[in-house]
């Protein structure tokens, strides 16, 4: 069995900054883990892309990143990329890959009304993967879905310290609530890693009596489990964030990433 060196990082991958919501709880469990956080700004937003495009783009880009940073494990911290490309990535790369899929199972355990809302990107909510999760874990329950690209833009803006339009958040919640049966939703799955960045705004728009859940803590536990017994550095060192180059979308200021333990920005 291959034993990774202490300095071998965990690679996090997302289209943008949403994967930081998975990095946060992982850092809490593995505080000295070396981190590379990769954001495909040249491809953002993934929610607007076709399955074919993402099934080709994500494994190719991850392949480049793996070659460059030699991680011990890669986390696709993006529901859109995971629901479309996880199997392709696993087939193409020879290292453990952790994916991020909508937290429909815990939502089904939590709901009392039997009506669950799934808020994701437009690409995620149309995936057969979501049909499969609903059939396996929420059988007999109603799963309503809505895709909101505005929340992705809003989450990116918030992290940069820019204002967010409250109407965008209201519209996202209304997109679920206004569907038949939507008034009975008591659990909303945040099925895009960007959305927990807007937790407070979504909480306020959803109103009382609706739980918001996401899969980040479970993914962090999975990463800790898969790396159990491996060697880590004795002290924490700042992580690297790497962005694919985009003229329209330059990397955020380092200060926005510093709370997540990122100390340097690179572009590729
Ligand atoms: N953060 C991504 C997800 O979890 C997608 C955001 C986007 O690029 O549209 O689905």
> How far, in Å, from the CA of 152 to the mean position of ligand 1?
7
Q: What atom in ligand 1 is closest to the CA of residue 18?
A: 1
Average pLDDT over residues 135-140: 97
Please tell me whether residues 131 and 60 are part of one structural domain.
no
Please tell me whether residues 127 and 202 are part of one structural domain.
yes
Please tell me whether residues 83 and 128 are part of one structural domain.
no
Q: What atom in ligand 1 is closest to the CA of residue 100?
A: 4
d(CA 123, CA 125): 6
Q: What band does 164 get if pLDDT is binned at 50, 70 and 90?
A: very high
Residue 12 CB partners (closer than 8 Å, separation 6+): 19, 22, 23, 26, 35, 36, 37, 38, 74, 75, 77
Average pLDDT over residues 166-193: 98
Burial of 3 (0-12, 13-18, 19+ CB in 10 A): exposed
Report whether residue 194 contacts ligand 1, using a CB cutoff of 6 Å.
yes
Please tell me whether residues 26 and 80 are part of one structural domain.
yes
**What pLDDT, on the 0 to 100 scale, is given for residue 3?**
86
In a domain, 144, yes or no: yes
Please tell me whether residues 79 and 115 are part of one structural domain.
no
Please tell me whether residues 179 and 253 are part of one structural domain.
no
Burial of 161 (0-12, 13-18, 19+ CB in 10 A): exposed
> How far, in Å, from the CA of 34 to the mean position of ligand 1?
24
- Pick the closest to residue 95 from 171, 163, 1, 195 (CA basis): 1
Report whether residue 43 contacts ligand 1, using a CB cutoff of 6 Å.
no
In a domain, 36, yes or no: yes
Whole-number mean pLDDT of the chain? 97
> How far, in Å, from the CA of 234 to the mean position of ligand 1?
33
Domain limits at 263?
10-100+217-267
Active site residues: 78, 192
Q: What band does 44 get if pLDDT is binned at 50, 70 and 90?
A: very high
- Pick the closest to residue 150 from 177, 165, 168 (CA basis): 168
Please tell me whether residues 179 and 127 are part of one structural domain.
yes
Please tell me whether residues 258 and 174 are part of one structural domain.
no
The number of domains in the chain is: 2
CATH number for position 173: 3.40.50.1860
Query: With 80 as the cut, is the pLDDT of residue 104 above it?
Result: yes
In a domain, 242, yes or no: yes
> How far, in Å, from the CA of 243 to the mean position of ligand 1?
15
**Contact of 126 with 50, CB cutoff 8 Å:** no
d(CA 145, CA 122): 9
In a domain, 4, yes or no: no
Please tell me whether residues 16 and 113 are part of one structural domain.
no
**What pLDDT, on the 0 to 100 scale, is given for residue 146?**
98
In a domain, 160, yes or no: yes
Tell me the torsion sign for CA atoms 53, 65, 85, 238.
negative
Q: Whose CA is nearest to atom 2 of ligand 1?
A: 78
Average pLDDT over residues 10-21: 98
Q: What band does 1 get if pLDDT is binned at 50, 70 and 90?
A: low
d(CA 152, CA 124): 13
Report whether residue 97 contacts ligand 1, using a CB cutoff of 6 Å.
no
Report whether residue 47 contacts ligand 1, using a CB cutoff of 6 Å.
yes
Beta bridge partners of 76: 13
Query: With 90 as the cut, is the pLDDT of residue 264 above it?
Result: yes
Please tell me whether residues 130 and 226 are part of one structural domain.
no
In a domain, 2, yes or no: no
Report whether residue 227 contacts ligand 1, using a CB cutoff of 6 Å.
no
Beta bridge partners of 74: 11, 97
> How far, in Å, from the CA of 118 to the mean position of ligand 1?
14
What is the number of alpha carbons within 13 Å of residue 263 lying toward its C-beta? 7
Please tell me whether residues 68 and 44 are part of one structural domain.
yes
Please tell me whether residues 90 and 133 are part of one structural domain.
no
In a domain, 145, yes or no: yes
Report whether residue 21 contacts ligand 1, using a CB cutoff of 6 Å.
no
**In testing the pocket of ligand 1, which one of 12, 18, 243 has its CB within 8 Å of the most ligand atoms?**
18
Count other Cβ atoms within 10 Å, centred on residue 163. Answer: 8
Is the pTM of the predicted complex or chain greater than 0.95? yes
Report whether residue 206 contacts ligand 1, using a CB cutoff of 6 Å.
no
d(CA 37, CA 228): 21
In a domain, 186, yes or no: yes
**What pLDDT, on the 0 to 100 scale, is given for residue 2?**
75
């Amino acid at each position: 069995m291959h034993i990774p060196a202490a300095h071998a990082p965990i690679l996090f991958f997302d289209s943008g900054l949403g994967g930081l919501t998975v990095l946060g709880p992982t850092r809490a469990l593995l505080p000295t883990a070396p981190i590379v956080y990769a954001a495909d700004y040249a491809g953002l937003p993934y929610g607007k892309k076709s399955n074919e495009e993402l099934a080709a783009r994500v494994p190719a880009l991850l392949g480049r990143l793996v070659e460059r940073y030699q991680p011990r494990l890669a986390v696709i911290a993006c529901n859109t990329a995971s629901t479309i490309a996880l199997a392709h990535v696993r087939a193409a790369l020879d290292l453990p890959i952790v994916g991020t899929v909508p937290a429909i199972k815990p939502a089904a355990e939590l709901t009392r009304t039997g009506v669950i809302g799934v808020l994701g990107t437009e690409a995620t909510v149309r995936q057969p993967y979501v049909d499969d999760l609903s059939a396996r874990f929420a059988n007999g329950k109603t799963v309503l879905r809505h895709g909101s690209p505005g929340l992705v833009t809003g989450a990116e803006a918030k992290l940069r310290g820019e204002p967010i339009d409250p109407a965008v958040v209201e519209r996202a919640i209304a997109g679920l609530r206004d569907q038949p049966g939507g008034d009975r939703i008591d659990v909303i799955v945040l099925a895009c890693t960007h959305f927990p960045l807007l937790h407070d705004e979504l909480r306020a728009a959803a109103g009382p009596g609706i739980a918001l859940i996401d899969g980040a803590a479970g993914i962090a536990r999975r990463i800790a489990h898969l790396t159990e017994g491996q060697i880590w550095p004795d002290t924490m060192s700042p992580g690297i964030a790497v962005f694919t180059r985009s003229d329209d979308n330059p990397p955020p200021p380092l200060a926005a990433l510093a709370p997540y333990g990122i100390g340097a920005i690179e572009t590729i």
